[in-house]
Structure 1
């Protein structure tokens, strides 16, 4: 029975990795649709979000069923409970990719982003996709130290998020109110997408150690593993 149970836990981990892969692919295609005003690609991303939702539902049902049948304790219990939270984070990341695609669809055939912001959003998309894929690897490998790495990458995303507002608030920026609102929402989508990746990694730390870490503890851990001090924003 225990061997069957641990096979179930392994399957749940595989499904989390698959969710990270699908959410990353969705964001990549959504960004392409946004940058190229590609309506058919935007529609594809939106329709394929149902597949991400279906995997999340199946994963959650399996986890709840295992909780009911096995009555796990200690690490096994932590894994099941944490899995439910991580599946939610990854599914929400997929939703945010769909939101980007919906923005491209809403403004079609117009370009949503002005030239001044396109490089920043291209970098945001690259960072966000890398982060959620790395989150999947952290889940697969139970890599508690990987959370520190994602916190670092999230600092980059926060900087890019601020860069968007610097452009929008510049007196020489000539965009209208609609453009400003659209760019603000899109920047928030990418920033929140990255936050979900970090959240997954932090839950792995809880799974491995049984402890939550606040910001001060993360800074101390970074010092212990030899990272340089964080740059001030």
Structure 2
């Protein structure tokens, strides 16, 4: 019985880590679709979002089942509670990748992004994917040092997000209001994606230490 219970806990964590890998792949494809006006990649992200939603539902079902049938305590209880909240964070990351892909599809065959901002979105995509992949590794390893590193890693995304406003407010911006709105919204999607990855890592800190770090700066 105990072995089965532990296997269920391990499967719960493994499912969440796999979700991180899935949303990392989704954001990678969404970014490429955005930069290259690639409709096929955008459609792939959009169609696969349903599967990510399904994985969240499965994770929550497993977590509530463990609460109801096993009455976990101490670290095990923290694992289950963190999984319930973490599944929501990771699903939201998938939704944000979906929003990026939808923007690429909406403007196709034109590019959403003016050429001058594409290098910034290349970097935002790289940082976002790296954060999601690292969150997956943190779930698997429960490595406190790596978990706390994610907040520092997120600073790069915050800097890129802030810089986009400098670009948009520059008097040399010649692409009009519609393009500026698209760019501002897309930058926000990436920034929120990174914040959710950090939130996942913070829940691992809670699992290991029993203490939730202070609130994220917004």
The number of aligned residues is 216
The aligned counterpart of 1:31 is: 31
Q: Which TM-score applies when normalising by structure 1? A: 0.91
Deviations 1:119-176 (A, max 9, x none): 0010000000000100000010011222221111111100000111111000111111
Hey, which bits of structure 1, 4+ residues long, moved more than 4 A? none
Q: Which TM-score applies when normalising by structure 2? A: 0.97
C-alpha distance in 1, partners of 2:138/2:114?
Answer: 36
Residue 196 of structure 1 pairs with residue 196 of structure 2: yes
The aligned counterpart of 1:98 is: 98
The aligned counterpart of 1:6 is: 6
The aligned counterpart of 2:169 is: 169
Q: What RMSD, in angstroms, separates the aligned Cα atoms of the two structures?
A: 1.1
C-alpha distance in 1, partners of 2:137/2:76?
Answer: 20
Residue 69 of structure 1 pairs with residue 69 of structure 2: yes
Residue 21 of structure 1 pairs with residue 24 of structure 2: no
Cα 1:56/1:215, change in 2 over 3 Å? closer
**Which runs of no fewer than 5 residues in structure 1 stay unpaired?**
217-233
C-alpha distance in 1, partners of 2:114/2:153?
Answer: 25
Aligned counterparts, 1:206-217, within 5 A: 206-214=206-214
C-alpha distance in 2, partners of 1:71/1:205?
Answer: 22
The aligned counterpart of 1:147 is: 147
C-alpha distance in 1, partners of 2:213/2:18?
Answer: 26
The aligned counterpart of 1:130 is: 130
C-alpha distance in 2, partners of 1:51/1:33?
Answer: 19
C-alpha distance in 1, partners of 2:110/2:176?
Answer: 14
SS at match of 2:143: coil
Preserved CA contact (<8 Å) 1:154 1:194: yes
C-alpha distance in 1, partners of 2:86/2:2?
Answer: 23
SS at match of 1:137: helix
SS at match of 1:116: helix
Residue 205 of structure 1 pairs with residue 216 of structure 2: no
**Which runs of no fewer than 5 residues in structure 2 stay unpaired?**
none
Preserved CA contact (<8 Å) 1:20 1:90: yes
SS at match of 1:117: helix
Preserved CA contact (<8 Å) 1:39 1:108: yes
Preserved CA contact (<8 Å) 1:96 1:190: yes
C-alpha distance in 1, partners of 2:51/2:162?
Answer: 33
